Amino acid sequence: MNSIVKKLIVVCLAVAMTVCFAACGKKGSEGGGDQTLKLGGIGPITGPAALYGNAVDKGAQLAVEEINKANPDGLQLSWEMQDDEHDAEKSVNAYNKLLEDNVQILIGSVTSTPGAAVAAEADANRTFALTPSASAPDVTEGHDNMFQLCFSDPNQGIASAQYVKDNFADAKVGVIYNNSDNYSSGIFNKFKAEYGKKIEETTFTTDSATDFTAQLNTLKNANVDLVFLPIYYTEASIILGQAKKMDYAPKFFGCDGMDGILDIEGFDTSLAEGLMLLTPFTPYSEDEVSKKFTDAYKEKYDETPIQFAADAYDCVYAVYDAFGKTGLDASASMEDICEEMIKVFTGDFTASGVTAEEMKWNENGEVEKTPKVCEIKDGKYIEK
């Protein structure tokens, strides 16, 4: 073997070892390269639930920008949001568009019925998903890749019932809920089971969510003085207006779907005075973490954040922190990322953020965190 051949062999071995070390430094499908992890969101940017989707989009974008600025030479994040108009079929189409754009991790879907439809697709394709606000159990049930940062519907129903029992022991309780909606009926069923006493029940469907005078008359005639509203803010705003016209003024109590009611264009916010809701976040908190987020959000968007923005913000930080524990490279395949992220989230991983400290997830994808109850006073959410 002549000297030239020997030198060529040495050079080739050196190159091979360099490539090997570069590829093996972190697990990834391409062994290094682009250090941008692609996150995608799905939610209603237009339509009757648009406040939720836009809040999630803005909260996630703020977190992405903060992380990228804080780590200019490290892992970077990209963000893409697709509109589903709170429609299950359109949500699946939006998910497929994200796949076409090579998104690796899903933040969404934002609402429960679309979230359940996307969950089946994401499970089949092995996409890891952390939803900020799709709280129905069927979003995560049977899907080991799906996780919730929000309270699940059962937990919201139970917590609401406990609060009402403890703080309104003598109240006669009634409910107006959407029996065609997973979110609404899921919360109420758990509320009813936990409350354990007679409840005056009235219902509606999505197709009839414009006139609630019959339901309100039923509750008024039954002398109900606390009305539980496990519904979205759009229907609730109509109910509050119609109750006012009827001179019916019970205590109204809602859940996280109520958040955003103060931001409806043209809504008379005085109608929501005294309204109570279960939420993990209030922008008027003096907590240092919440205040920092609220100030940054106001500076960027010139508006006050709602809970959905805070949930999405926490989602991005939780995903970023968890990904750092996987040992993966940003060039890893979506499937590999999914399997490793599941291991992290079902292990001893905890995440602290705006909506809670030391959040932890179980194998069913549910988060463990403490809810807060707020009351609207003078156009602000005041923690009780």
d(CA 280, CA 259): 10
Distance from C-alpha of 37 to C-alpha of 261, rounded to nearest angstrom: 34
Question: Looking at per-residue confidence, does 12 or 162 come out higher?
Answer: 162
What is the per-residue pLDDT for 64?
98
Give the containing element (helix H, strand E) for 230. Answer: none
State the average pLDDT over residues 39-67: 96
* pLDDT at 2 > cutoff 50: no
At 16, the pLDDT band (50, 70, 90 cuts) reads very low
- Where does the chain show beta strands of DSSP type E? 36-43, 76-83, 105-108, 128-131, 146-148, 173-178, 200-204, 226-229, 251-254, 276-279, 360-361, 367-368, 372-377, 380-383
pLDDT of residue 263: 87
Distance, in Å, from the CA atom of 328 to the CA atom of 26, rounded to the nearest integer, reads 5
Q: What is the pLDDT of residues 169-213, one digit of tens each?
A: 999 999 999 999 888 999 999 999 999 999 999 999 999 999 999
Residue 156 has pLDDT above 80, yes or no: yes
d(CA 265, CA 280): 24
Q: Which residue has the higher pLDDT, 101 or 32?
A: 101
> Which DSSP letter does residue 16 get?
H
Q: Say how many Å lie between the first and final Cα of the chain, rounded.
A: 84
pTM of the entire structure?
0.79
For 121, which DSSP code? H
In terms of C-beta distances under 8 Å and separation of at least 24 residues, what long-range contacts does 267-274 make, across chains too? 267/237, 268/241, 269/376, 269/379, 271/237, 271/240, 271/241, 271/244, 272/237, 272/240, 272/376, 273/376, 273/377, 273/378, 274/375, 274/376, 274/377
Burial profile 33-48: b = 16 or more Cβ within 10 angstroms, e = fewer:
eeeebbbbbbbbbeee
Q: What per-residue confidence (pLDDT) applies to 153?
A: 83
Q: Work out the number of other CB atoms within 10 angstroms of the CB of residue 3.
A: 7
Pairwise pLDDT comparison (17 vs 279), residue with the higher score: 279
Confidence of residue 151 (pLDDT cuts 50, 70, 90): confident
Q: How confident is the model at residue 34 (pLDDT cuts 50, 70, 90)?
A: low
Give the pLDDT score at 285.
86
pLDDT for the residue numbered 70: 96
Mean of pLDDT over the chain: 90
- Residue 217 pLDDT greater than 60, yes or no: yes
Residue 25 — very low, low, confident or very high, per pLDDT cuts 50/70/90? Answer: very low
Q: Please, which pLDDT band fits residue 245 given cuts at 50, 70 and 90?
A: very high
Residue 173, token pair as written in the block = 């309780």
348, two tokens: 């001893």
Domains (range + CATH), the chain: 36-151+287-369 (3.40.50.2300), 154-279 (3.40.50.2300)
* pLDDT on residue 292: 97
Q: Above 80 in pLDDT, residue 22?
A: no
Task: Report pLDDT digits (tens) over 330-360.
Answer: 999 999 999 999 999 999 999 999 999 999 9
Q: Is 173 exposed, middle or buried (0-12, 13-18, 19+ CB in 10 A)?
A: buried
- Give the separation between CA 328 and CA 331, rounded to whole angstroms: 8
